[in-house]
Amino acid sequence: MKAFREYDLIYSVVMSIPRGMVATYGQVAEIAGLPGHARQVGYALKVLPDDSGVPWHRVVNAKGGISKRLAPNYEQEQRILLEAEGIEFNRDDRISLEKYQWTP
């Protein structure tokens, strides 16, 4: 029986991110106990249902920006959600990780 997957771990970490803060894929993977699985984190969020209650928008890449994905619409969606949480973007469409990156 294998009812537990890596994704559940990832989701737990993402849901642990406080409002108004963000975390990188690599960071989430590391906290979840899956170092080096940064891409899988992205994959986990990709297959994640919208009504799962997971703040996937709080997860950004190492550059503190929004990565390009298969569906360009989501990029806008994520930015809007982040701004709604009080996170501001720079001119380069990036977030100040020094200020907003979540550190447990």
Site for DNA (CB under 7 A): which residue of 78, 87, 100, 102? Answer: 78
Residue with Cβ nearer DNA (8 or 88):
8
Q: Which of 95, 92, 20, 23 is nearest to 10 (CA)?
A: 23
48 binds DNA (CB under 7 A): yes
State whether residue 95 is helix, strand or coil: strand
User: Using CB under 7 A as the criterion, what x/- string covers residues 5-44 for binding DNA?
Assistant: xxx----------------xxxx--------xxxxxxxx-
Report whether 100 contacts 87 (CB < 8 A).
Answer: yes
Going by the DSSP 8-state scheme, the letter that residue 24 receives in this structure is E
Q: Which is nearer to DNA, 46 or 99 (CB)?
A: 46
10-38 burial code (b ≥16 CB/10 A, e <16): bbebbeebeeebbbbbbbbbbbbebeebb
In the list 56, 87, 95, 102, the residue contacting DNA (rule: CB under 7 A) is 56
- Residues forming contacts to DNA in the complex (CB under 7 A) are 5-7, 24-27, 36-43, 45-46, 48, 56-57, 59, 61-63, 67-70, 74, 78
